[in-house]
Structure 1
Amino acid sequence: MSVNKVILVGRLGRDPETRYMPNGDAITNFSLATDEQWRDHNGERQTRTEWHNITLFGKLGEIAGQYLRKGSQVFIEGKIQSRKYTGKDGIERTAYDIIGNEMKMLGNRNDGFDSGNNNAAPPTSNPPPAAPRRQPPQQTPTTPPIDDIDDDIPF
């Protein structure tokens, strides 16, 4: 048995780029920064930032392209996929991409959102739909007592 699962929470390093395949499916790419902080032996705070290449397909990619912006905080769940390429210097390298299959927008309403664009919704988690209002239970009329109950109860 093997497992290839990644869970990341971080901030976008650039606006998402969405393109479409010939069949109309969306592919959206962006970089995601995750930070690790600790104190060294001198008590000084140290920070290390890791950058992750994220790829989202289909409807998930369209949503990310529409609502996410540089600086947006997001939760991504997916898998690691490697690819080989040859750099400009002729050396073969390996890149690791995260193929996301779940995304949740985090943060507040203005997190990474361009307030000058009034036509787009801010990148927030979709609130759960409001529960339908329940009507108070209908009072059922009480049934009148039955007068012809047989009193021949054996106890």
Structure 2
Amino acid sequence: MISQNEVHLAGWLVNDAVVGYTKDNREVAIFTMVTYRDNDREKREYHRVVSLRNASEIGILKFGEGVHVWGTLHTRTYTTKDGIEKAVTEIIAHNVTMEI
């Protein structure tokens, strides 16, 4: 059996991309995008996208712009200030292109 973790999404940004830095001082771009199942706007899915590649280029993306994202799914856990453990699934982007 082959195990594969690959994602390709095409959708629109629901916020401006933000550029920041990881704990080890690597530049990172983060944004949220929306996709629609069966092109039905009632069946929307939101996806958090994290990119360590070309972060400054991705950081210029703005709300409403169309993008294609290729990457892998990654689930991580964190603890809130209230001590509650939460999990979040993100797309770790390998490539992001604007829809033209």
Q: TM-score, normalised by structure 1?
A: 0.56
Map of 1:32 onto structure 2: 33
Kindly report structure 1 stretches of 4+ aligned residues shifted beyond 3 Å.
20-25, 87-91
Distance 2:13 2:43 in 1: 16
Query: Which structure carries more relative contact order (alpha carbon 8 Å, separation 6+)?
Result: 2
How many pairs align?
99
Larger Rg: 1
Partner of 2:44: 49
The reply to whether residue 63 of structure 1 matches residue 64 of structure 2 is no
What one-letter code is carried by the residue in structure 1 that aligns with 2:57? Answer: I
Asked if structure 2 preserves the Cα contact closer than 8 Å seen for 1:6 and 1:79, the reply is yes
SS of 1:69 mapped into structure 2? coil
Superposition map of 1:1-155 within 5 A: 1-21=2-22, 25-37=26-38, 47-58=42-53, 60-66=54-60, 68-87=61-80, 90-107=83-100
**8 Å CA contact 1:37, 1:47 repeated in 2:** no
Taking only the aligned residue pairs, the percentage that are identical comes to 28
Name the aligned partner's letter for residue 49 of structure 1.
R
Cα 1:74–1:46 shift into 2, 3 Å: closer
Q: Distance in 2 between matches of 1:46 and 1:56?
A: 26
1:13–1:2 CA distance, 2 compared to 1 (3 A): same
Rounded to whole Å, the distance in 2 between the matches of 1:89 and 1:35 is 34
- Structure 1 segments unaligned to the other structure (5+ residues): 39-44, 108-155
- The AA in structure 1 aligned to 2:52 is F
Structure 2 unaligned spans of 5+: none
Which structure dedicates a bigger proportion of its chain to strand?
A: 2
